[in-house]
Structure 1
Amino acid sequence: MAQETNNTEKKSQGTGPGTKLLIGEFLNYRRIWLLSFVLTAAFAIIPVIFFAVLDYNLTQRSLENDAEARASRLASNTWRSLAFFLDERKNALNYVVQSNSFEQLENTPQLTEILDFLHESFGGFTDIGIIDATGVQKAYAGPHGLAGRNYKDQQWFKDTMTHGISVSDVFLGFRNVPHISIALRHTTPDNTYFIIRATIEHQLPKILSEVKTSGNGDAFLINARGVLQTPSHYFGNVLEKANIALPLATEQTRTMRITLENRQDLIAAFRHIPDTPFILVVLKSQKEIMSPWHHSQVTLIQYLGISISVVLLWIWAVTTYFVRRLQLLDRKRSKYFHMAEYENKMASIGRLAAGVAHEINNPLAIINEKAGLIKDMAHFKEELKKDTRLLETVDVILASVKRCSRITRQLLSFGRQTQTAPVPLILKSVLDEVLVFLIKEAQLKNIFIDIDVPDDLPQVVGNRGKLQQVLLNIVNNAFAAMPKDGRLSVSAQKTDDPFVRLDIRDSGCGISPENLKHIFEPFFSTKTNQGGTGLGLSITYGLVQELGGRINVESKVNEGTTFIIYLPTTTQKEE
């Protein structure tokens, strides 16, 4: 049997900005859900992402600043160690020249003893020499045999004669070994000058090698011209030119970020060592410094992803719940609207039927009166009494009037079902009242109607109009589902419970299993292209519930459908 099914929610045919949210009678719930989900998710997730990015950047910047501060502290501590080392040796030379005369210092054995004393007391001295005002080395103690060498053209000699003391750049000199010199100018009592000079070859790289730069860090000395004074892990060996931008000389440690040719980022701390040509450079690999942060970054992103997923899942569940509730309420609203419209239509039909019946009753009364008058006259006149054809015609007229009167009474009865309180009803009588309106359609389609309702069946309790509407809807659907020469069977029987079971079986096309479970849902219909609203069976289901009964359906495709209705024989209490 073809069922009335819900005209499911119509889908939007466009996705552009002009697409309306209201389509026909129903809202476009898919778009409402999408807008609600997107807007709610945006308002919930954007602040989370914003603060996560803000926290990420602040933490990263804080770690970078901390890395710069650590590099700066390391450079400050290291330059102090270097400055102390050089000052210590300057003071040692000053002590030597103050406690010995030029003649004593000019004595090579005496000078050798002084060098041994400096080795034992301070260490770090390679050799020591005494140079007169002309630049000639008068005395020398050390491994290179440089006595008699003339240094008047050496830069360190000129600086010492000008400033009184000098610490030289790293240079090769006559010995062809990288070294620095510390020289002091001393004035004798007879106002002549001489210079005491000591050299250091390997101490500065040794001191810097002990600096804890960690990982791929580096610490080295460079002069203002960019020439390496100690070996560098990144820029090469001593006296090689390093391609590095140096800050201006200040009394503060400066930090900056530099990028090598191999795209490696470094944090560099620079410090000019006072009274020397040296600039201390401490380098730290930014990648290694930030590696703990990068591991934390992965964890942060994972937690952020999990948090966003949980938020999205929650928003999806809440949005789906509320949109479904909205859809259900909208369907109920539309259902009740159609039910009210249907009730008004039925009431209008009832009033129309009552009016037609009333108007027909008047001429029927006249016809009945006149036919009765003719029959009475026939009894008084002999010539009419013998006219059998006339008498038979009058009887036919009276029978037809009686039949028309019965039909008009049924119309009036159908149109006046206004009682609200349940009353006892004879099921067979109500069924006859409904079938009288469908008998013509049954005759046109050659549908055979088989009624098996026992006379001793208990009366059912309910509203006559609602029961008529239930039966009318089901029988109408049965007629629509059956082709010509169909068969409609109506049977009723008493049950063990206080109910009467009414079976309405047709030989129609049947209902598929996937549609059968939606048969009583509002607006679900397989006949939408034929004008079906999907409300007939939904209204029928509601009316049966209002009568205190229940309704089931059984169907097989191409075999037919059976509606099973249980109607109460006593008043049922509402739960």
Structure 2
Amino acid sequence: MAQETKNTEKKAEGRGPGPKLPIGEFLNYKKIWLLSFGLTAAFAIIPVIFFAVLNYNLTRQSLENDAEARASRLASNTWRSLSSFLNERKNALNYVVRSNSFEQLGNIQQLANILDFLRQSFGGFTDIGIIDATGVQSTYAGPHGLAGKNYKDQQWFKEAMAHGISVSEVFLGFRNVPHISIALRHTAPDDRHFIIRATIEHQLSGILSEVKTAGNGDAFLVNAQGVLQTPSHHFGNVLEKTNISLPPATDQTHTMTIALEDGQDLIAAFRHIPNTPFILVILKSKQVMMSPWHHSQVTLIQYLGISISVILLWIAAVTGYFFRRLEYLDLKRSKYFHMAEYENKMASIGRLAAGVAHEINNPLAIINEKAGLIKDMAHFKPELKQDPRLLETVDVILGSVKRCSRITRQLLSFGRQTQTAPVPLVLKSVLDEVLVFLVKEAQLKKIFIDIDVPDTLPQVIGNRGKLQQVLLNIVNNAFAAMPQEGKLSISAQKTDEPFVRLDISDSGCGIPPENIKHIFEPFFSTKTNQGGTGLGLSITYGLVQELGGRIKVESKVNEGTTFIIYLPTTKQKEE
């Protein structure tokens, strides 16, 4: 009996390292462990997978909605540009008929003068004619000799007589060049009806060519029958038939997804242009617009796999822990003590590193002090004074320490501009803080910088960080506009007003006159194909306004550009 009890105690102790219980004699620990592991893993992993799938679908739906919204906004903005273009021509013709009598319009020379005026003011006008109520073109000015032609059976004539206006679809004309025509009905003082009709070279494709569609996008016009009115990247040239399913005519923008024959999906936005036969179509590549989501799929799967692996490993460790012997618990506790000790050691190393970083200025100060002491000693000891290399070496050490301190202070000063209230600023000091970061680029491009900013200038009032950003934007633009061996001139002077005038001139390529009036507009850029966003000068203009100043630009092509900035002084604040 005693031997049997002893054997039973040995079997009871056999859970863990050392002798083990025979499987099935008391408890099937493997089966219990597998059951516990399976249930715990199921309850832990199922919510993770559920939320991962939920996030996956919500993200995709959100990006799809955002892509459709962006296509819709682009279609709305482009529609306004097209509508504005057509309205300008309509208003010009309306002005012509209201400012000239029917007899004046019947004069061929007068009508030819009007045509020349329209060509010079708007461009693209091919001819112009006056059609009476019977459909006969009584007066015509243009290259095709269409005087006397009868249009009573033409659809545009009937539409203009019925509704007062008609904008034609695109047609090729005599020169086989795409044209559109605009016809307006007018009533003379004697109640006679007549129509003024002008043919305009097709400029709509030029407006659409400026629309930026990412990736394999497209922007074009079609009519109600799906015939192209402008060239399309996907569907061919003008007057070719497309197989696009068009939405019903409304005053809202419609979006849908269409599939090309090559299997590519495109997000399409449709907008009917009022009082015209045109339908604007904006196509954006769904694959390109959904690329962030496609990239997030891989990341999501990776994180999900890592999370599940960590959960399974953790569950395996935890469930196994409950079926170990007490000795294993002590071993585990000892292991945790070692881990805590290691983490404490790592924390101490981190504090030590922080202390070293904080105290690194002390040896620099000592170097500076000792180098100065050596220099002083050299002046009093003849044997040291006679060695020029010693003094040169000490000067190099002092110069390096001084340069290191100056660069550190300038960097911290440039990066830590947190004040919001306007404060007095020394313009030359702010300018030096900006140029210190551009000296290397100027040296690489061999750009000569000429600075003429007197120290006697009155202080300007403003925010240092905003003024730094203004100067940095303008100087960066100047560097980009100048070739190798250019010249940047910066000068400042007092004015009769409580302002300081700052001129920043470069010897770059200059700005064409037609672009001068647009350079401060948001998103206007001549370097969009080079990564430009068109926001730099717009932001600069806004910052100058916030500083209480004003900015203007003068430029000549191939000679250079000058930005003139007026900054308020402290005297203006006192007034």
Q: Could you tell me the TM-score, scaled by structure 2's length? A: 0.51
Structure-1 separation of matches of 2:35 and 2:152: 89
Q: What CA deviation, in whole Å up to 9, does each residue of 1:97-122 have, x standing for no partner? A: 11112232232222221112112222
SS at match of 1:148: coil
Residue type of the partner of 2:306?
I
Conserved 8 A contact 1:172-1:179: yes
Conserved 8 A contact 2:170-2:202: no
Seen in structure 2, the aligned counterparts of structure 1 residues 303 and 192 have a Cα distance that, compared at 3 Å, is: same
Residue type of the partner of 2:227?
V
Structure-1 separation of matches of 2:149 and 2:252: 40
Which residue is equivalent to 2:240?
Answer: 240
Residue type of the partner of 1:69?
A
Which residue is equivalent to 1:50?
Answer: 50
Which residue is equivalent to 1:313?
Answer: 313
Residue type of the partner of 2:316?
W
Which residue is equivalent to 2:265?
Answer: 265
Structure-2 separation of matches of 1:27 and 1:99: 107
Q: What CA deviation, in whole Å up to 9, does each residue of 1:311-364 have, x standing for no partner? A: 1111111122223449999xxxxxxxxxxxxxxxxxxxxxxxxxxxxxxxxxxx
Which residue is equivalent to 1:185?
Answer: 185
Which residue is equivalent to 2:205?
Answer: 205
Seen in structure 2, the aligned counterparts of structure 1 residues 99 and 55 have a Cα distance that, compared at 3 Å, is: same
Which residue is equivalent to 1:164?
Answer: 164
Which residue is equivalent to 1:76?
Answer: 76
Task: Tell me how far 1:78 sits from its aligned partner.
Answer: 1.0
Which residue is equivalent to 2:517?
Answer: none
Which residue is equivalent to 2:39?
Answer: 39
Structure-2 separation of matches of 1:23 and 1:94: 101
Seen in structure 2, the aligned counterparts of structure 1 residues 213 and 24 have a Cα distance that, compared at 3 Å, is: closer
Seen in structure 2, the aligned counterparts of structure 1 residues 117 and 328 have a Cα distance that, compared at 3 Å, is: closer
Structure-2 separation of matches of 1:73 and 1:328: 66
Seen in structure 2, the aligned counterparts of structure 1 residues 198 and 8 have a Cα distance that, compared at 3 Å, is: farther
Structure-2 separation of matches of 1:136 and 1:219: 38
2:139 is the counterpart of 1:139: yes
Task: Tell me how far 1:26 sits from its aligned partner.
Answer: 3.3
Seen in structure 2, the aligned counterparts of structure 1 residues 235 and 178 have a Cα distance that, compared at 3 Å, is: same
Matches within 5 A, 1:119-158: 119-158=119-158
SS at match of 2:219: strand
Conserved 8 A contact 1:124-1:203: yes
5+ residue gaps in structure 2?
A: 1-6, 14-21, 330-575
Conserved 8 A contact 1:29-1:327: no
Structure-1 separation of matches of 2:326 and 2:270: 69
Task: Tell me how far 1:171 sits from its aligned partner.
Answer: 2.5
Seen in structure 2, the aligned counterparts of structure 1 residues 136 and 326 have a Cα distance that, compared at 3 Å, is: farther
2:280 is the counterpart of 1:289: no
Residue type of the partner of 2:255?
T
Q: Could you tell me the TM-score, scaled by structure 1's length? A: 0.51
Residue type of the partner of 1:64?
E
Matches within 5 A, 1:372-391: none
Residue type of the partner of 2:110?
Q
SS at match of 1:277: coil
Seen in structure 2, the aligned counterparts of structure 1 residues 27 and 187 have a Cα distance that, compared at 3 Å, is: same
Q: With CA pairs under 8 Å and 6+ residues apart, which has the higher RCO, 1 or 2? A: 1
Identity of aligned residues (%): 81
Residue type of the partner of 2:64?
E
Structure-1 separation of matches of 2:123 and 2:176: 22
Which residue is equivalent to 1:254?
Answer: 254
Seen in structure 2, the aligned counterparts of structure 1 residues 113 and 36 have a Cα distance that, compared at 3 Å, is: same
Which residue is equivalent to 1:95?
Answer: 95
Structure-2 separation of matches of 1:112 and 1:26: 113
Conserved 8 A contact 2:180-2:202: no
Residue type of the partner of 1:71?
A
Residue type of the partner of 2:275?
D
Conserved 8 A contact 1:32-1:323: no
SS at match of 1:109: helix
Seen in structure 2, the aligned counterparts of structure 1 residues 211 and 288 have a Cα distance that, compared at 3 Å, is: same
Seen in structure 2, the aligned counterparts of structure 1 residues 40 and 98 have a Cα distance that, compared at 3 Å, is: same
Residue type of the partner of 1:151?
Y
Structure-1 separation of matches of 2:88 and 2:234: 30
Structure-2 separation of matches of 1:49 and 1:170: 56
SS at match of 1:248: coil
Structure-1 separation of matches of 2:241 and 2:129: 30
Which residue is equivalent to 1:397?
Answer: none
Structure-2 separation of matches of 1:152 and 1:224: 23
Q: Which has the larger radius of gyration?
A: 1
Structure-1 separation of matches of 2:52 and 2:75: 34
Which residue is equivalent to 2:446?
Answer: none
Residue type of the partner of 2:211?
V
Which residue is equivalent to 2:60?
Answer: 60
Residue type of the partner of 1:139?
T
Structure-1 separation of matches of 2:254 and 2:168: 23
Which residue is equivalent to 1:515?
Answer: none
Task: Tell me how far 1:8 sits from its aligned partner.
Answer: 13
SS at match of 2:322: helix
Conserved 8 A contact 2:136-2:150: yes
Which residue is equivalent to 1:229?
Answer: 229
Which residue is equivalent to 2:220?
Answer: 220
Aligned length: 315
